[in-house]
Structure 1
Amino acid sequence: MTENWTKASIPSFITLIRDKVQNYAKFDQQFKAMKNDGIKLATSFLGKSSSFSDTTTSTSSTTSIDVNLEKQLQSWKDNPIWTDPSPEIQVTVPKGSLCNLNVKVNVGLPPDAIYNIVTDPDNKRVFKNIEEVVSRRVLIDEGHRQVVELEQTALWRFLWWSGTITVHVLVDQNRKDYTMKFKQVKTGFMKRFEGCWKLEPLFVDEKVCYPFVPKNMEDYISCTRGKGRIGSKVSLEQLIQPALVPPPPISWYLRGITTKTTEMLITDLIEEASRIRSDYGSLNEDNVAPIDDCNLLKGKHDIKERWASRRRKRRRGFIV
């Protein structure tokens, strides 16, 4: 009896395994076909500026970025549902430093839009802790990458105390890998002040691709047929080391000030992203964006031109 059951179950088991393999092969074949069919869509959606080509000129790259961003924002217009998560802030104290801050948060806008906000010369309107931009010079401009010398006065608040601090840094910003590295120019009260913004694409509607798991942007756009929303994984890491690290409790207060200032920075970024989603979702039939967003989403991506334009307007009395 047992022997007969075993003989009967072996073919059933083999059949089950064969069906599983055939189903997997069928799914794999469908995915490859869908990916091949979606390459043209993905290329159009992403634009050649998104690390597919290293030979595009600055002008053509700007055009690609504009088209890319508009198409990605259209997905958010079609489905604006998003809940802003709280940022994760980790504070460590390396030996000889005041603190090392590591912040991570998911933001409901594509990396290109977040990059535009952070690198915009006029982002004082976004980040409330920037009191004044003292000077800004573009030292290197390679299209996707710029090196900028920046000096600005920043506000800080902690408990019932507040004040200002002058920051003079070199910023190396690169749209190709969505990084913005900054480092202090001259040592003084601060011996070291350096860090890095980094943006990565977030596949918001990844579940639509089930049972497939998109491994990259091209896979994601292909399996969602260009309808999937793209958000950003935002991370900010910065190291702060005074020339002389004060003893407790002063060091505790300074660490609290630094943490609170960074938290304000991230909160302002999240609020600006929420405002842009709201504004973009309420465009009129002519697709006219609010004036403040024209440069951010559709206009001048050349930093030198934007800054020169700002100086011209200031001389004419348009900016106070």
Structure 2
Amino acid sequence: MGGSEISRSEEKSGIGFVKLFENNVVFPGFLVWMNQTIQEPIKAEFKRLRNVKELSLVKSVSKIETIYDEHRDEEKLEKQLQAWRDNPSWIDQPPKVVVKSQNGLFCHLNVEADVGLPPELVYNIFTHPDNKRYFKNIKENISRKVLISEGLKQTVEVKQAAAWKFLWWAGTCPIHLIVEENRKNLTSKYKQETTMFMKVFEGCWKVEPLFIDEHLCERSKPKSQEDYHSCSNGRGRIGSKVTMDQMFQPSALLTPPPLSWYIRGITIKTTESMIEDLFAEATRLRGGKGGGYIADQEENNVVFEKNKADDIKERWRSHRRTKRRRFTNAKTM
């Protein structure tokens, strides 16, 4: 008989069933199925554990690299700030402010200012969660929520209470902004989420490096901060060029003059005030004394406010005279 046959005695004792099972006589695919059923989950679990381990390793390495980069950036920034402390001489120049309006309603405000601090530090001041410590017009940071975070980019929802002062009036107003911050190129975009006094309020700003002591580089003009650091032997100070572009339009209730003029004046004054506060903080961090624009502003502040008051009064008189002339001409025709 063939190798698959068993004797009657083996069949009675049950040994034959075992032999049939071992020789794959009964259920020829059963052992294969059992093998797959047991081994496949084990293989899958080992694979999962290996992936988890690899992912954990990648995260650990990434975290170490992030900490190292942050430490290196802080060290680099401290060296730049030390260069300013070694040579704090700097005269703040008045910012360049250009205002263009369309039909006296929609306004475009462009501001350029040079600041005696490194760009990364200026950016940190602007984006600090508690930046009311730097800017007097921010009375309260109500809330700050990070909506999206992608490395050096993040989108933040900001709610603040801002103070305003114009001529003889003063008060506070709520601000609700969605801000897109990009630390890689030191830029930011913002847009008002909910409006109260403004129909439109949005804009952007950026911070660019200024090579203050470029004369130390005798051979060639530096094209990057690395070149500047090398050719100046680390003694060259790096300043910042801040550029702001802001678009705003008063709400319908505040459109008629002179209300629209007041809102326009408040917005411009608030922006200029932020630049003044930035200059003051830069002076403090440099360890030097203020000078130039800040000193002049403190001395001429009363005269400045009076001139603005006279200007708005004259514009209102001119507006009324023009309106009366139009009415008279229409009546005589």
Structure 2: distance between partners of 1:65 and 1:221: 14
Indicate the residue corresponding to 2:275 in structure 1.
266
1:96: Cα distance to partner? 7.5
Amino acid at match of 1:160: W
1:219: Cα distance to partner? 2.1
Indicate the residue corresponding to 1:250 in structure 2.
259
Q: Deviations over 1:59-103 (max 9, x none)?
A: 333212211101111211221111111111111113584421111
TM-score, scaled to structure 2: 0.64
**5 Å matches for 1:1-320?**
57-94=65-102, 97-187=105-195, 189-244=197-252, 246-278=255-287
Amino acid at match of 2:263: L
Structure 2: distance between partners of 1:165 and 1:197: 22
- Evaluate the alpha carbon distance shift between residue 251 and residue 243 of structure 1 in structure 2; reply closer, same or farther with a 3 A threshold: closer
How many residue pairs end up in the alignment?
A: 226
Q: Is the 8 A contact 1:96 1:241 kept in 2?
A: no
Q: Deviations over 1:280-309 (max 9, x none)?
A: xxxxxxxxxxxxxxxxxxxxxxxxxxxxxx
Amino acid at match of 2:283: S
Structure 2: distance between partners of 1:271 and 1:189: 29
Indicate the residue corresponding to 1:26 in structure 2.
none
Q: CA RMSD in A?
A: 2.1
- Evaluate the alpha carbon distance shift between residue 97 and residue 248 of structure 1 in structure 2; reply closer, same or farther with a 3 A threshold: closer
Structure 2: distance between partners of 1:198 and 1:56: 29
- Evaluate the alpha carbon distance shift between residue 188 and residue 156 of structure 1 in structure 2; reply closer, same or farther with a 3 A threshold: closer
Unaligned runs of 5+ in 2: 1-62, 289-333
Structure 2: distance between partners of 1:188 and 1:138: 23
Structure 2: distance between partners of 1:195 and 1:121: 19
The residue matched to 2:272 in structure 1 has which SS? helix
Unaligned runs of 5+ in 1: 1-54, 280-320
1:278: Cα distance to partner? 0.8
Q: Is the 8 A contact 1:98 1:251 kept in 2?
A: no
- Evaluate the alpha carbon distance shift between residue 56 and residue 260 of structure 1 in structure 2; reply closer, same or farther with a 3 A threshold: farther
Q: Is the 8 A contact 2:144 2:157 kept in 1?
A: yes
Structure 2: distance between partners of 1:187 and 1:59: 40
1:183: Cα distance to partner? 0.9
* Percent identity (aligned): 54
Amino acid at match of 2:137: N
Q: Which is greater in Rg? A: 2
1:136: Cα distance to partner? 0.8
Structure 1: distance between partners of 2:108 and 2:180: 20
1:187: Cα distance to partner? 4.4
Q: Is the 8 A contact 1:98 1:255 kept in 2?
A: no
1:243: Cα distance to partner? 3.4
- Evaluate the alpha carbon distance shift between residue 168 and residue 56 of structure 1 in structure 2; reply closer, same or farther with a 3 A threshold: farther
The residue matched to 1:74 in structure 2 has which SS? helix
The residue matched to 1:186 in structure 2 has which SS? coil
Amino acid at match of 1:92: K
Q: Is the 8 A contact 1:145 1:174 kept in 2?
A: yes
Amino acid at match of 1:130: I
Structure 1: distance between partners of 2:287 and 2:77: 16
Q: Deviations over 1:175-224 (max 9, x none)?
A: 11001211112345422211112100000001121352222222212211
Q: Deviations over 1:4-46 (max 9, x none)?
A: xxxxxxxxxxxxxxxxxxxxxxxxxxxxxxxxxxxxxxxxxxx
Q: Is the 8 A contact 1:193 1:241 kept in 2?
A: yes
